Amino acid sequence: MQVLMVASECAPFVKTGGLADVVGALPAALASLGVDTQVVLPAYPALFPLLPTGTEVARFDDLPGGTGRIVKVAAHGLTLLLLDAPQLFDRPCGLYVDETGKDWPDNHLRFGALSMAAARIAMGQIDGYHPDVLHAHDWQAALTPVYLKMSNQQTPRSIITIHNIAFQGRFGPQVLGQLHLKTDWFHPEGLEFHGDLNLLKGALMFSDRITTVSPTYAREILTPEFGMGLDGVLRSRSDVLSGLLNGIDTDAWNPSDDPALAEPYDAKSLKRKTANRTALCARLGLEPERGGPLFCVVSRLTSQKGLDALLDAVPHLVAKGGQLAILGSGQPELEQGFMDAAEAYPGQVAAFIGYDEPLSHLFQAGSDVILIPSRFEPCGLTQLYGLRYGTLPVVARTGGLADTVIDANVAAIAAKVATGFVFGDVSALGLSEVIDRVIEAHSDPKLWQSMQRNAMRHPVSWESSAKAYRDLYSELI
């Protein structure tokens, strides 16, 4: 079976969040099940060194935003179809934003071109390549199923995966023509959303299947509270919607073989995890031995992630003997807030503002607890990394967080299945209450270690979800 994926990010090449981890890891898991995946990805500057190692397999003169060519490259176990269109993708800074943090004004053209190139490939533009299924990820790829539907040809069946419905790709109606979209599709049953063009809505209307990244989020987005205005559209298509939990790359995230760690460890040698705590504290200027748990955050600093509530709970966390290490970047007021907290509590709170992949591994290995107080979380990957590293997750009861962490309540402790802490109220008070529970559990080393072992045994690989994707693909064809 042949699957063509299209996405705007792919680890380890280009990443702003979990989407990249998923697109980078799922193809390998599918390969072991006999599914051959190729990934259409923009040729951003980080990918330029790969271009000369590949083969040009297609050229397009009339993409939105101009011309482009497709270069096929094998790298990191993936087969990439890079869209080389320097006028759209040869830019410094973020993948989606300029140096001031503002969206590039031609993002509709950039990702319209990506989607159109992918649709043409899906329809046989590359000699000898006829994929069975087109699998698009998020709004940046969302026009692909729309272009397939617009063509009057025989096309592969299509899937859109929603990684985060907060991001929809919404643009003024004046760009319809630039994107080669039919104006008679611009109505509420089609591409129109409150007078604008909504790319994700287009995919939700015109894909054969819709998936999202956890069963709980699949239910949540059917409600006005979580659907971000698209809950009605999703309810009308709920017969084709399902939630498939993300897995993680258990080779890239393996505490017994991780080059970013001070010392490798596994569930049988948890004592060696301490060396990583010492290394992390030294790196961040935290006091090495305070006795209480070291909490960490590895995250985009945005309101989605509930970190404003955590900021309000910092005095309580420190007063109770905990320490806090932050790795993240994002909203300036949150960055400033955590830098101020680090200044107010030297040795107890540290903030590393920026993006650092190896450091994120040391954070996971060196901390006792990873905090994820999200207001909504389609899946979340850092709690899965935490489980794998014996770093107990403290998570809000939402989306994929609720699907992956077993709360240390009395019944779960008695049954020896607890893997972390789940709480409901994302506020300073809710966080303070759960911090108290964590600190109490941490003061019982036997309980703590048994929870670490439960966590490290919890299945987090792609194995079962890759099978679920394969079954979905098979059903479609």
- Tell me which of ligand GLC, ligand ADP, none is bound by residue 124, counting a contact when its beta carbon lies within the kind-specific cut-off of 5 to 8 angstroms: none
The reply to whether 404 sits near ligand ADP by the rule CB under 6 A is: no
Alpha-carbon Rg for the chain, nearest whole angstrom, is 23
User: Can you tell me whether residue 347 is helix, strand or coil?
Assistant: coil
User: Can you tell me whether residue 301 is helix, strand or coil?
Assistant: strand
- Tell me which of ligand GLC, ligand ADP, none is bound by residue 167, counting a contact when its beta carbon lies within the kind-specific cut-off of 5 to 8 angstroms: none
Q: How far is the CB of 419 from ligand ADP (least distance, A)?
A: 17
Cβ closest to ligand ADP, residue 21 vs residue 407: 21
Residues 362-391 that bind ligand ADP (CB under 6 A): 379-382
Q: How far is the CB of 65 from ligand GLC (least distance, A)?
A: 25
Q: How far is the CB of 3 from ligand ADP (least distance, A)?
A: 22
- For the four alpha carbons of 281, 287, 292 and 297, in that order, the dihedral sign comes to negative
CB within 8 Å of 24: residues ≥ 6 apart: 10, 11, 12, 13, 15, 76, 78, 249
Residues 319-348 that bind ligand ADP (CB under 6 A): 327-329
Question: Which of 1, 12, 17, 36 is the binder for ligand ADP (CB under 6 A)?
Answer: 17
Which residue shows structure tokens 């290394």?
A: 279
Rounded CA-CA distance 272/270 in Å is 5
Contact criterion met (CB below 8 Å) for 151 and 216: no
- Tell me which of ligand ADP, ligand GLC, none is bound by residue 213, counting a contact when its beta carbon lies within the kind-specific cut-off of 5 to 8 angstroms: ligand GLC
Residues 33-72 that bind ligand GLC (CB under 6 A): none
Q: What is the per-residue DSSP string for 394-457? A: EEESSHHHHHH--B--HHHHHTT---BEEES--SHHHHHHHHHHHHHHHT-HHHHHHHHHHHHH
Q: How far is the CB of 380 from ligand GLC (least distance, A)?
A: 5
Q: How far is the CB of 305 from ligand ADP (least distance, A)?
A: 7
Question: Which of 6, 10, 11, 22 is the binder for ligand GLC (CB under 6 A)?
Answer: 22
Which amino acid is present at 452?
Q
Contact criterion met (CB below 8 Å) for 262 and 278: yes
User: Can you tell me whether residue 277 is helix, strand or coil?
Assistant: helix
Q: How far is the CB of 166 from ligand GLC (least distance, A)?
A: 8
Cβ closest to ligand GLC, residue 374 vs residue 419: 374
Residues 199-218 that bind ligand GLC (CB under 6 A): 213
**Residue (of 354, 361, 392, 398) closest to 377 by Cα position:** 398
Q: How far is the CB of 170 from ligand GLC (least distance, A)?
A: 17
**Residues forming the site for ligand GLC (CB under 6 A):** 17-19, 22, 163-164, 213, 246, 377-381
Q: Which residues bind ligand ADP (CB under 6 A)?
A: 17-19, 21, 298-300, 327-329, 355-357, 360, 379-382
